[in-house]
Amino acid sequence: MYGLQARKLQVGSRVAHVSLLGFRHPRGWKGHAMRVAVTGGSGFIGSHVVDYLCAAGHDVVVVDVRPPHRADVRFERADVLDTEALTRSLRGCDAVFHLAGVANVNDATADPVRAIELNVTGTARVWEAARACGVKRAVLASTVWVYGAAPGEGEVDESTAFDLARAAHVYTSSKLGAELVVQSCHELYGQEFTILRYGIPFGPRMRDELVIARFVKAALAGEPITVHGDGSQWRNYVYVEDMAEAHVRALDPAGANEVFNLEGAEAVTVRRIVELIAELVPRKVDVTYLDARAGDYAGRSVSGERARRLLGWEPTVSFAEGLGRYMDSYLDRRIEAPAIARVWQRRARVAPLAAALAVPALAFHGALDASVVPRSLAVLAAAVTAYALYKWAPRPTSAMGGATAAIASCWLLSQATGGLIFAVAVLFGAGVGVVLAGAPPPEGAPIPPVAAIALAAMVLGIFGHMNLSLWAAGLLVVVTARPSLHVGLRSVFRVRQPNIAFAWVMVTLTLLLIPVVGATSATATWFGTPPVAHGSRQGSNVALTFDTPSADASVAIARALSARGVRGTFFITGNGIRTSSSAATKAILDRHQLVGKNMYDRDPIIMLNPGAGQLANSQRVFRDELGVCPAFFRPSHRYHTPVVTRSAQRRGIVMVGWDVSVGDALEKDPATVARLALSHAQAGSIIRIDVGTDGSGSAAASVVDALPAILHGLRERGLGTVALDQLLHRRAYETRC
């Protein structure tokens, strides 16, 4: 370890240095537990103030837009520009520390209007909320930067006058403005206050953009340290835990209506910072000097006598010791994270994977009729696959191959139907398993939060209707594999047989599933115009359609429909009407029922054959045998390939699918047929009833017996029954084949 490692004690869920044990109350302080709010309590300084307030026995409320760093304090999410939210957050508090605002001088320079809003207007709103809630003491976090507006060159203290023309920086002006607001509220309303003018704080949890943090990070990474100016600029840095202790002391009655400088004990130049870091880092540290920043605080000698006299506070941690502690904490994060990951994986290795693989549930937006059980089974299948590959896949394995399969699967899952959902879900699981095996995060930390997000996604996906799979799973894969995806990319081109094999297996399976899903999906317009699944939802009609390989079995159904004055649509296979079925088909037409084309080969794989002339063959049969050219065509199993789509469009034919389906009626009793036909029927629905693969009379009889219940159920919902030409507002037959 680098630097001076201090003894530690546990505070809440975090670690604080042992200086808490030596907390010194001012002589005669009659301290008692209070409810104290801290705006900005999730930030660098605020989080340490929260730790010290808790250690002193106070009930702490963190008021911030981000959750606090510890779980044993109350959290109120509120913006400092939202007076109503602030008032709600401060209700019942005895004191409030106002630390929220723009603390980065570069941010203030880049957006001065926002800096003024947050630092000045935000202060006014906090003080107004405190007044409305009867808060006894309000403490403002200011800065020694305000002394940039002090005339002269000597030491300054809390009574030093300011020349506003010398403020020079909008950050300085905003802090001076905030102090004026506080003083004015005291004069007008008698509000008790304390102003703490911070020196330059440093220590654990400080923001990455702060100068010491940037220098340490660059030095440890072997990068040059960039210094603005010649390095002679100096600051009285104050260790953040010393500063946090001063906040607790400021609650003493002696701190009422006072201003205190919380300044470090020693002046440290930028060059000295670089030298100390170089002593602690076991490699040569390079330094690059750039032009000084405009309006930068030049540094003043600031007296801390008032804080020492009234609060009994003075800094105790030297800069060198504090720097060592910060470097220890910085390295601790890098060392401890893998240990956390190992514990997570050892105790609950299956849990994060199962949760992560819950993401496919998001894709099942209406894809499965029976929602919870099939969706859960698909997620389980994906999770098992992922765990198997994560545990047993040969190393090294290509993270890029797995990521490609996982992300492509998310896209396909949003469009897959039927059993393909399970196939694509398994491919997704395989992809994620390979990603986790080939690119585990070096620090391990991303896995638990990603798993938690995915678990929430599972709940939403299984029990809700969220179609965000591409984004959710894409985020999962990228965040999980981010630290080493580039390693996986390079490994694809290395001569390693397991790596190459797994990469190509992932890619090949993905490429095979893309046309299959595209051909069966009712939403995959990228693969060709899909069949029309339903008519307008604004009307009050549905269409009853019947699939049969032979017209013979449909005559009884047509007769039953005609007797009730109802028109249906019968999709009959082209080759079936070449023989005895011609007369039956004519009988259907004579009863004013609509006839459409069905595939004479009901094998769905035939539709993937680019050379299959199914539509042309079917048209020719209808023309030769019946002299009609049906305008509606139902591809087998809703399969649509680019070839079939182009053929249908060239002939002016509408491909028709369905949104409500009854499987082979031969295997179902009439009550089941009726229930399935009505299950999801709504305005515009195309209800498909399969009369059976062999067109038997038994299947037709089941449908005929179910028709009264179906028609009655539709009427109860205010729905009428029409043929497809009326529902879709298209001609029933074309003029030519």
Spatial contact of 104 and 209, defined as CB atoms under 8 Å apart? yes
Query: Would strands 654-655 and 632-634 be described as parallel, antiparallel, or unpaired?
Result: parallel
Token pair for 209: 């953009």
Q: Residue with structure tokens 């799979």?
A: 469
Spatial contact of 635 and 531, defined as CB atoms under 8 Å apart? yes
Give the C-alpha separation, 732 to 569, whole Å: 10
Token pair for 577: 């009407």
pLDDT of the residue at 212:
84
pLDDT of the residue at 49:
96
* Second-level CATH architecture of 528-734: Alpha-Beta Barrel (3.20)
Phi/psi for 111 (5° steps) reads -140, 80
pLDDT of the residue at 22:
39
Q: Residue with structure tokens 């808060």?
A: 135
Helix axes 614-626, 581-590, angle to 10 degrees: 80
pLDDT of the residue at 564:
93
Give the C-alpha separation, 516 to 608, whole Å: 8
Token pair for 474: 């894409």
Token pair for 408: 């492509």
Burial tier of 623 (Cβ tally within 10 Å: 0-12, 13-18, 19+): middle
Spatial contact of 516 and 638, defined as CB atoms under 8 Å apart? no
pLDDT of the residue at 383:
72
Contacts of 437 (CB under 8 A, 6+ apart): 389, 390, 391, 393, 395, 397, 402
Report angle CA 238, 23, 12 to the nearest 5 degrees. Answer: 90
Instruction: Single out the residue of 518, 538, 536, 537 nearest to residue 528, CA to CA.
Output: 518
Query: Would strands 733-734 and 629-630 be described as parallel, antiparallel, or unpaired?
Result: antiparallel
pLDDT of the residue at 182:
96
Give the C-alpha separation, 460 to 483, whole Å: 28
Token pair for 125: 């709103």
Check whether the bond before 396 is cis (ω within 30° of 0).
Answer: yes
Helix axes 399-413, 420-438, angle to 10 degrees: 150
Token pair for 306: 């008032």
How far CA 604 is from CA of 394, 549, 608, in Å, comes to 36, 14, 8
Reduced to 3 states (helix: H, G, I; strand: E, B; else coil), residue 25 is coil
Burial tier of 467 (Cβ tally within 10 Å: 0-12, 13-18, 19+): middle
Spatial contact of 719 and 577, defined as CB atoms under 8 Å apart? no
Report angle CA 159, 210, 111 to the nearest 5 degrees. Answer: 75
What CATH number labels 8-204+238-265+302-317? 3.40.50.720
Q: Residue with structure tokens 């260790």?
A: 239
With residue 501 as reference, give the H or E element that holds it: helix 497-520
Instruction: Single out the residue of 563, 543, 556 nearest to residue 587, CA to CA.
Output: 556
Report angle CA 369, 375, 378 to the nearest 5 degrees. Answer: 130
0.75 surpassed by pTM: no
Q: Show the DSSP H helices in 361-446 as ranges.
A: 372-392, 399-413, 420-438
Provide CATH 3.40.50.720 ranges for the chain: 8-204+238-265+302-317
**HEC profile of 92-139:** CCCEEEECCCCCCHHHHHHCHHHHHHHHHHHHHHHHHHHHHHCCCEEE
Q: What is the mean pLDDT for each group of 10 consecutive residues in the chain (737 residues)?
A: 33 34 38 88 94 94 91 90 94 96 86 94 96 96 88 86 84 93 96 94 84 82 77 83 95 94 86 84 75 62 92 91 84 50 38 43 41 66 75 63 75 72 80 65 41 45 43 48 40 44 76 79 73 90 88 85 94 61 84 83 52 63 81 78 77 87 76 90 93 66 91 94 93 76
Provide CATH 3.20.20.370 ranges for the chain: 528-734
Per DSSP, what are the bridge partners of residue 10?
Answer: 15
